[in-house]
A and B are shown apart, each in its own frame.
Chain A
């Protein structure tokens, strides 16, 4: 079964750093891009960026460029998104998803990671 399993919920303070993860299984992890998607409380889906795990090439939405870093370790089939200095406005659910380049569709989604940032 193709799965993306994400790391657990996080509670952080403003200014702290954080890295959350997304582990793929049941398929060749390097053969598909991984996208990250933010969903703020009660709001819609926002695309953050994507990574090609085979070579770690990334591209970001302008809204997230410079504020998050997306990375991957293909040896352990895991992608990451990290923040160096969290803000309260980073409070959201974060999803990873497998991205198929032919149509740029996301056919498998992760379980989601809730990030809460509060002083």
Chain B
């Protein structure tokens, strides 16, 4: 079993770049793909990154994902921030040992 740990909140100004981290507690971050979801207030989550760094159609290329084995973490980077990017972001992966989906605790992004 493992956990995914995210910062509770981050904030940045419009036009800037922000990075949200997601650290895996045990085993390699590369063991299973990492996904990222955006959840705006009052709405269902939507996927913005899948398979570590793939962007679904319709997601702006301002959104990018990566993994870093040295820190055993995944990152979501949003460039050229817009006020509409203000939302909660969740990372998610899969525990192959017990066939369980694992979510990070979520990060509230404030664009001010």
- A contact residues vs B (CB 8 Å cutoff): 35, 37, 44-47, 50, 59, 61-62, 95, 97, 99, 102-107, 109-112
Contact = CB atoms under 8 A, between A and B. Distances in A.
A106 B94 CA distance: 11
B51 A105 contact: yes
Place the interface of chain B in its size category. 20 to 34
Nearest to A108: B47
A114 B33 CA distance: 30
Given A104-B94, A110-B44, A111-B44, A44 B35 contact: no
A95 B33 CA distance: 22
- The prevalent SS among residues of A at the interface is strand
B90 interface: yes
A103 B35 contact: yes
Contact of B44 (A59, A105, A112): A112
A59 B56 CA distance: 27
B106 A47 contact: no
A107 B101 contact: no
B70 to A, nearest CB: 23
A11 B51 CA distance: 38
B46 A109 contact: yes
Contact of B103 (A45, A59, A102): A45
Contacts of A62: 100
A27 B46 CA distance: 18
A109 B88 CA distance: 16
Interface in B55-112: 56, 88, 90, 92-94, 99-106
A59 B99 CA distance: 8
Tell which of A46, A62, A105 has the most Cβ of chain B within 10 Å. Answer: A105
A95 B46 CA distance: 12
Interface string B14-48: 00000000000000000011010101000011110
16 contacts: A44-B104, A45-B37, A45-B45, A45-B92, A45-B103, A61-B100, A62-B100, A102-B51, A104-B32, A104-B92, A105-B33, A105-B35, A106-B37, A106-B45, A106-B92, A109-B45
A47 B35 contact: no
A111 B56 CA distance: 19
